[in-house]
Amino acid sequence: MISTITLNPCRDRTVVIPSLTVGGLNRVDKTIDDMCGKGVNVSTVLHNLGADTVCLGFIFEQGADELTDALAAKGLRHDFVRVPGKIRTNLKIFEAETRRMTEINESGSFVPEEYIAALREKVRKYAKDSEIVVISGSAPPGVGAQFYGELTGLCREANPHVTVALDADGDLLRNGVAGRPDFLKPNLYELEKLLNKKIGGFPLEKQENHIKADEIVQSCEELARASGASMICVSMGADGALLWSSGRAFYAAAPDVEVRSLQGAGDSMLAGLCAARAGGRPPEDMLRWACAAAGGSIIHEGTELCGKRDFEELYGKIRIAAL
């Protein structure tokens, strides 16, 4: 079983416009509303790929039924801690002409300590039977920046054999890394912020058919030494993705598909990694699964995510290069 933890679920409202005029009038071509959250997105794709998964985390009373109804429609199991407050709304502005996404995200409702304590116990319970626990996304007010590191340690106490995957940003990522998770999935910008340096290497240079991404590989090795992570996947949007795994590195170019939305691509990539890991696949195939799942999501509008057929159509087209 793969458990996912979402502390700050949301209603994603995606508006599609031709192009964004800042300070002027913008007419909307289409509006799409979805109930989701980063961990929920991961579970959605895992379920679509046939993996056994459950959604954990917080659910806020105003909007709770709407979210649970959406999960039921997808066939997703869940066991949230119910908290007073309102599920936040995140606005996504997708420009059809440039394929650019602008995000305006709310912070979420405050979570008192008693509900945080209840979540600790719930995570401890599910970690005992989980092969992988995924911790991802933002945290609502009331939850400290150290909480992801704390959850990682709690999972290991409950199950020494569990694999913990972390996908976060800012202080949550920085402090979460201190908990020594097994998997990390930063994008290139997040990796630069975490290591406090500019990383070169992209766009890729090719010499004699050899892909050069030395700075990114070296940065992954630096992060692995500091965090203890055995696997780091760096997503780079249109430039593809790089997977570092215990001293070996692999690269995959982004699939050649029409991009209709960027929302959920990173979550889908993480789902592909975890599903492949649970299936006992080697690192290079894990990256192939990750890129096929991400590509299977960006072809859909709004926050509709990769389905089984999307994945199958793209899987054989993903080419992996050893670095």
Q: Show me where the domains of the chain are located.
A: 2-20+30-322
pLDDT of amino acid 211: 56
pLDDT of amino acid 258: 87
**Average confidence (pLDDT) over 75-87:** 97
**Average confidence (pLDDT) over 159-172:** 96
Q: Per the structure block, which two tokens stand in for 15?
A: 């508006």
Strand order in the sheet with 10-17: 30-36, 10-17, 88-95, 100-105
pLDDT of amino acid 209: 46
pLDDT of amino acid 174: 93
**Average confidence (pLDDT) over 100-113:** 94
Instruction: Give the Cα-Cα-Cα angle 63, 54, 188 (nearest 5 degrees).
Output: 85
pLDDT of amino acid 199: 87
**Average confidence (pLDDT) over 274-286:** 97
Q: Per the structure block, which two tokens stand in for 226?
A: 């500091």
Positive or negative: CA dihedral 208, 210, 211, 217? negative
pLDDT of amino acid 261: 78
pLDDT of amino acid 203: 56
- Ramachandran category for residue 280: left, alpha or beta (phi over 0 → left; psi -120 to 50 → alpha): left
pLDDT over 90 (residue 278): yes
**Average confidence (pLDDT) over 102-121:** 96
pLDDT of amino acid 208: 43
Chain mean pLDDT for the chain: 93
pLDDT over 60 (residue 165): yes
With a pLDDT cut of 90, the percent of the chain lying above it is 82
pLDDT of amino acid 1: 97
Amino acid at 165: A
pLDDT of amino acid 201: 63
Q: What sections of the chain are H helices per DSSP?
A: 38-48, 64-74, 113-127, 147-158, 170-177, 188-195, 214-227, 265-278, 283-298, 308-315
**Average confidence (pLDDT) over 18-37:** 92
Q: In a 3-state reduction of DSSP, which class is residue 22?
A: coil
Distance CA 14, CA 297 (A): 15
Q: Are 38 and 267 in contact (CB under 8 A)?
A: yes
Query: 205 falls in which pLDDT band (50, 70, 90)?
Result: low
Name the architecture of domain 2-20+30-322: 3-Layer(aba) Sandwich (3.40)
pLDDT of amino acid 207: 47
pLDDT of amino acid 113: 97
Q: Which of these ranges, 88-92, 208-212, 261-265, 270-274, has the smallest mean pLDDT? A: 208-212
Which helix (H) or strand (E) segment is 249 a member of?
A: strand 248-252
pLDDT of amino acid 138: 95
